[in-house]
Amino acid sequence: MLHNGSNVFTTGATGLIGGELVRTLITQPIGKVWALVRPTDDSPAERLSQRRRRSGPSAAVPAQRFPVAVAGDVTQERLGMSPEDYEDVRRNVDIIIHSAAETSFLRASACRSTNIAGAKNLIEFTRQCTRRPLLVCLSTAFVSGVVANACLSEDEGCRPKDDHHNEYTHSKAVAEELVRSSGLPVLVVRPSVVLSAGVPDEQFARAILQFCPLLKELGALPVDPQARPDVVPVQFVVDSTIRLLQTPHRRYDLYHISCGLDGAMTYEELRPAFERFYHMTSPMRLVAPRHWNKDLHRTYIRTPDQRRIFATIKNYLPFLNMNVLFDNTRLKQELGDRFPPLPRLDEYLFGLLEMVSHDRIARRWLAAKGA
């Protein structure tokens, strides 16, 4: 349980979720916070400061509450830490929060080394720790693999042996299974799609939404208009995780952090606002994939630009069309009146699109993808 004296070791602190977790953690009345940061040309402390600035203005925090940046890498033995740092953390840590991950849909080997080997290294490190710390693993709700048209409970989720759309979700499923079968005290949280609402940083907004400005050049998409994406803002994930950690005698070791049935919107509900936002003169046609055929493809994907755009976004189409929601009843029951505010997608999506609405940036991203 997270309390006044808890010492917390984090990975992934320069990422979106990990960075916001650390930012919120240091405002809590807890003990020491370490952040494992991969060495680059910049020092770990400078990288951590750079990530903190990307979150925008923060509440004043005394210097002694700042996280301690520790050089290391989850893919390496002993997490790549120096002997001094390793011993300091090993002897004193109470909670380990592991959010470092490779999230690429394309870099399969990097997913395996970071997500699977990284989980193994964290498990081994946790076993060596003096205080038997709680190992908190930020998984993903999409460990369910290739599933469609369902609302999944936590117990229906992790399926490493099933088909997956890419190695990212498969490797996260394997990692989650390793953590939960380790015999250690663990807490696994499974966020659904996480958007960077409230974080004034274009790069984080572009990570998922970069292709959106290009869609206005397509008159139709093979996207089921009645499908619903399960999407949550990053602060909801952070607040839910911390409140779970502050909960004594949690009933489960696994929770979805998702919008679930109550908060989901269909693409058809979002489409008119999308068209207004991009000043589209003609409605975008959304076609269920089972009805998308060669004639429709030739009609709507005609120009070289349209073909390049379509080739780039096709990796996202299986996720857009899953129509899978992740039941958050367990989280609601556990947190009760401490369940964080959960805004609807249309309350924050278009603020994020504003940050990625420049064609120049979108086309540069398209060129980088080599489409």
Tell me the pLDDT band of 190, cut-offs 50, 70 and 90: very high
Output the pLDDT for position 319.
84
Is it the case that residue 365 has pLDDT exceeding 80? no
Predicted pLDDT of residue 361: 52
With a cut of 80, say whether residue 341 has pLDDT above it: yes
Residue-wise pLDDT tens digits, 158-179: 888 889 988 999 999 999 999 9
Rg (CA), the chain: 21
pLDDT digits (tens, 9 = 90+) for 285-334: 999 999 999 999 999 999 998 998 898 888 788 889 999 999 999 999 99
- Residue range 72-131, pLDDT digits in tens: 999 999 999 999 999 999 999 999 999 999 888 778 899 999 999 999 999 999 999 999
- CATH number 3.30.1490.190 given to 8-191: no
What is the structure's pLDDT at 326?
97
Residue 125, pLDDT score: 98
Backbone angles phi, psi at 190, to 5 degrees: -120, 90
Residue 71: what pLDDT? Answer: 97
Go through 135-163 and write b for each residue having 16 or more CB atoms within 10 A of its CB, e for each that does not. bbbbbbbbbbbebeeebbebeebbbbeee
Rounded mean pLDDT, 56-64: 68
List 326's β-bridge partners, or say none.
152
- The confidence band for 62, taking pLDDT boundaries of 50, 70 and 90, is low
The domain segmentation of the chain, as residue ranges, is: 8-191
The average pLDDT across 33-48 equals 94
Q: Which residues of 58-87 are buried (b: 16+ CB within 10 A; e: fewer)?
A: eeeeeeebbbebbbbbbbeeebbbeeebbe
Q: Is the pTM of this model over 0.85?
A: yes
The span from the CA of 144 to the CA of 140, in Å, is 9
Q: Where are the alpha helices (DSSP H) in the chain?
A: 16-25, 44-54, 83-92, 108-111, 118-128, 167-180, 202-209, 212-215, 234-245, 260-263, 267-277, 294-300, 304-313, 317-320, 329-335, 349-355, 359-369
CA distances from 265 to 63, 87, 157, 212 (A): 43, 48, 21, 17
> Chain-wide mean pLDDT for the chain?
92
Strands 220-221 and 324-326: unpaired
Dist. CA 81–CA 129, nearest whole Å: 14
- Alpha carbon distance 127, 79 (integer Å): 13
What is the per-residue pLDDT for 93?
Answer: 98
> Looking at residue 364, what is its pLDDT?
58
The answer on pLDDT for 58 being more than 80 is no
Place of tokens 């369902």: 150
Residue pair 270/344 in contact by the 8 Å Cβ criterion:
no
Question: What is the identity of the amino acid at 319?
Answer: F
* Residue 360, pLDDT above cutoff 90: no
**pLDDT at site 262:** 85
**Res 366 pLDDT > 80:** no
Asked whether residue 55 carries a pLDDT value surpassing 90, the answer given is: yes
At residue 356 the predicted structure's pLDDT band, cuts being 50, 70 and 90, is confident
Question: What is the model's pLDDT at position 212?
Answer: 85
Whether 146 contacts 164, CB under 8 Å: yes
60: pLDDT confidence band, cut at 50, 70 and 90? Answer: low
Beta bridge partners of residue 257, listed in sequence order: 191
Distances (CA, A) of 311 to 216, 218, 317, 326: 15, 12, 11, 29
3-state secondary structure of 330: helix
Residue 359 has pLDDT above 70, yes or no: no
Dist. CA 303–CA 186, nearest whole Å = 52
pLDDT confidence tier of residue 340, bands split at 50, 70 and 90: very high
